[in-house]
Amino acid sequence: MSRVMVGVIGGTGLGEALGALGGGELREVDTPYGRPSGPITLAEVAGVPVALLARHGEGHLKNPSTVPYRANIWALKSLGVTHVLASGAVGSLREEVAPRHLVIPDQVIDKTHRRPGTFFDDLAVHVEFANPFCSTLRNVLVKAGTGFPTRIHQGGTYVCMEGPQFSTRAESELHRSWGASLIGMTVMPEAKLAREAELCYALVALPTDYDCWKPHPASLDQARLIEEILGNVKAATQNALELVRRAVPLVAALDKPCSCQSALALAIWSDRSRLAPDVKERLRPILGRYLG
């Protein structure tokens, strides 16, 4: 297959630690959807080209609803990224998914409602999304986790809420009743946009605490609780970084194309001959090979 380039998108904690994957060149990118969250660092991990992006920007100034998801994915695609390994902090909805574990989810329930969720505002494009995470990349992460010192859960449903407030107790109990394992705020529309851009995308979720369905120990006051959660973020971040380090060369060794990389082949329902020239030009980095 063509040359692999791995995009790494970091969430809470990991964004500040991305530099641990190696120094590199800072690249500012303009997109039709504005600037991405921040400059993208081009570097190498085990000889494999990578593009590193902090989802919430420098200083973590962008909340989950204001992250420029379209610009982020477009920028990575324009730089040649073919596969995306993302991470993000989550709350656990299951007793067995403990803080500091890692989870490689396989399903999503999207409850967001304030975020532009498609590149295709000017035509009808319907990508298949029954399996929202790339199975090839998920298998790579599982393989990279062989013998890993921290427990890695394979599979689980991630509920993506709008935020930025956390769940009410009733909402948390509802999400548990749905059979979900994780609650977070950032995987949508990121995963949808990656599919539209024909990028393979998988997530390493970092449980930092049990969501509010589980009462906190009475011995923990608010200050100590926050301290404990931040400690969990730091530990889970280091675990995620190590898993990403192990996964990157395995991604580069993939020798077969993935269906994610032709997601648009049967998804364009509009009459392409009727698309306005400016729309064709704007979308060419994504749609170019389907426009003739």
Contact 76, 159 (CB under 8 A): no
Candidate list 30, 209, 221, 255, residue with the active-site label: 209
* Strand runs labelled E in 2-118: 6-10, 25-27, 40-45, 48-54, 83-92, 102-104, 107-110
- Signed CA dihedral, 210, 66, 13, 40: sign only: positive
Candidate list 211, 255, 271, 278, residue with the active-site label: 211
Q: Which of 108, 86, 87, 100 is closest to 182 using CA atoms? A: 108
Active site residue 209: yes
Residue 186 marked as a ligand binder: yes
Ramachandran category for residue 100: left, alpha or beta (phi over 0 → left; psi -120 to 50 → alpha): left
- DSSP for residue 72: H
- Signed CA dihedral, 155, 156, 157, 158: sign only: negative
Residue 112 marked as a ligand binder: no
Task: List all residues 6 or more positions away from 26 whose beta carbon is below 8 Å from its beta carbon.
Answer: 39, 40, 41, 42
Residue 209 marked as a ligand binder: yes
* CA–CA separation, 277 and 273 (whole Å): 10
Task: List all residues 6 or more positions away from 272 whose beta carbon is below 8 Å from its beta carbon.
Answer: 290, 291, 292
Residue 126 marked as a ligand binder: no
Active site residue 211: yes
Beta-sheet pairing, 152-154 with 107-110: unpaired
Residue 136 marked as a ligand binder: no
Residue 12 marked as a ligand binder: yes
- Could you tell me the CA-to-CA distances from 232 to 91, 96, 246, 253, 265 in Å, in that order? 11, 16, 21, 32, 42
Residue 157 marked as a ligand binder: no
Residue 1 marked as a ligand binder: no
- Tell me which residues are annotated as active site: 209, 211
Specify binding-site residues for substrate: 185, 209-211
Specify binding-site residues: 12, 55-56, 185-186, 209-211
